[in-house]
């Protein structure tokens, strides 16, 4: 169908905008597009009010946002990011820990993974069944009051025990108390005065007696861990730990009556009552017999320097040569 061309038939306009000679009634259109155009023109001619212009502030904002679209978009993105970060921190920020929180965490950890025993504790558990209490007591049929207390270590299943001479010197009667509480009289079978060593043999031996494992001092170095086990001041069995401070030391008793050489120096606490007890490695093996402490004062207490006879000398005194 032939499309109708739309144009005005008049050559000039009237005083009020209407084209002179134009019919007041619109001519029918031959298409939808033409109808829309004519209808709009006719509506305007009919006096319909144009849409109200936007307020000034809205128009100004539109011009501003159009002109600065990119900076405004960037600023909005930054503000949104900051808001997200602030919200996340507010939700996830850790609260202040209390002592109750800390105690609970420690208890939870210990319950899941108990603390491993120390090396000194392990060594003590190994040597403890071989350590005995050595007492000087009254004569037979008299009171059993302790007159002196020392320590010894079992080195053979038959009840052979190493201790110091000064622990049993002058004893009227010697009593030994084993790990399981069994008590027995004992007697001296041999001595080695140059090393202050005495070998005892008991009359009664427990069925499950466990002798100590002896270890050569070869390979020992200053700084190696050791423990001393004994009955300091009669309190025991007690354990103290430290290190080897030196090797091949010489010792002169406070009154100058006794000189010994080739001793192990250690710093594990030892006091009267520790004498005759074992000096033990972290593996629970005996490397020496505690025999003396050095204190230049009149007090007989430990101030950091102890001495032990090497186990080679002690084993020789008992006729044992395990190395």
* pLDDT tens track for 66-109: 777 777 777 888 888 888 877 777 666 666 778 888 888 888 77
Identify each DSSP E strand in 63-130 by its residue range. Answer: none
* Beta carbons of 266 and 278 less than 8 angstroms apart: no
CA 126 to chain centre: 25
Q: What is the pLDDT of residue 93?
A: 62
pLDDT at 311 over 90: yes
**275 among known catalytic residues:** yes
- What is the rounded CA–CA span in Å between residue 178 and residue 154? 9
Q: Of 238, 240, 245, 275, which one is the catalytic site residue?
A: 275
- What is the rounded CA–CA span in Å between residue 189 and residue 168? 12
Q: Of 130, 175, 195, 196, which one is the catalytic site residue?
A: 196
The residue ranges of every structural domain in the chain are 123-317
Q: What is the pLDDT of residue 187?
A: 94
Q: CA–CA distance from 313 to each of 9, 74, 269, 320 (Å)?
A: 142, 88, 23, 10
Q: What is the pLDDT of residue 43?
A: 43
Residue range 270-284, pLDDT digits in tens: 999 999 999 999 999
Q: Of 30, 166, 216, 283, which one is the catalytic site residue?
A: 166
**166 among known catalytic residues:** yes
CATH code for the structural domain at 123-317:
2.40.10.120
Q: Which of 109, 200, 191, 106 is nearest to 151 (CA)?
A: 200
Q: What is the pTM of this model?
A: 0.64
Higher pLDDT, 152 or 52: 152
If phi over 0 gives left and psi between -120 and 50 gives alpha, with beta otherwise, what is residue 56?
Answer: alpha
Q: What is the pLDDT of residue 6?
A: 46
Q: What is the pLDDT of residue 39?
A: 39
**8 among known catalytic residues:** no
Confidence of residue 62 (pLDDT cuts 50, 70, 90): confident
Cα angle, residue 319 at apex, residues 264 and 182 outer, rounded to 5°: 85
């Amino acid at each position: 169908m032939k499309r109708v061309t739309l144009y005005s038939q008049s050559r000039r306009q009237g005083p009020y905008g209407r084209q002179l000679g134009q019919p007041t009634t619109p001519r029918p259109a031959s298409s939808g597009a033409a109808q829309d155009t004519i209808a709009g023109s006719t509506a305007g001619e009919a006096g319909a009010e144009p849409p109200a212009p936007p307020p000034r502030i809205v128009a100004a904002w539109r011009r501003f946002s159009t002109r600065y679209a990119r900076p405004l978009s960037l600023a909005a993105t930054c503000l949104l990011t900051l808001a997200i970060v602030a919200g996340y921190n507010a939700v996830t920020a850790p609260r202040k820990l209390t002592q109750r929180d800390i105690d609970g965490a420690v208890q939870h950890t210990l319950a899941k993974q108990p603390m491993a025993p120390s090396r000194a504790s392990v060594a003590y558990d190994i040597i403890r069944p071989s350590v005995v209490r050595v007492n000087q007591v009254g004569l037979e049929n008299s009171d059993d009051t302790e007159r002196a207390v020392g320590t010894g270590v079992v080195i053979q299943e038959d009840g052979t025990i190493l201790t110091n001479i000064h622990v049993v010197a002058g004893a009227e009667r010697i009593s030994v108390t084993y790990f399981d509480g069994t008590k027995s009289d004992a007697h001296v079978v041999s001595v080695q005065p140059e090393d202050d060593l005495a070998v005892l043999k008991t009359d009664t031996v427990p069925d499950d007696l466990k002798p100590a494992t002896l270890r050569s001092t070869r390979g020992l170095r200053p700084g190696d861990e050791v423990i001393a086990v004994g009955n300091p001041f009669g309190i025991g069995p007690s354990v103290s730990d430290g290190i080897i401070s030196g090797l091949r030391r010489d010792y002169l008793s406070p009154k100058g009556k006794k000189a010994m050489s080739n001793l192990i120096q250690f710093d594990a606490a030892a006091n009267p009552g520790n004498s005759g007890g074992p000096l033990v490695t972290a593996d629970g093996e005996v490397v020496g017999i505690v025999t003396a402490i050095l204190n230049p004062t009149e007090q007989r207490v430990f101030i950091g320097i102890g001495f032990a006879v090497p186990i080679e000398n002690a084993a020789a005194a008992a006729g044992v040569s395990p190395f």
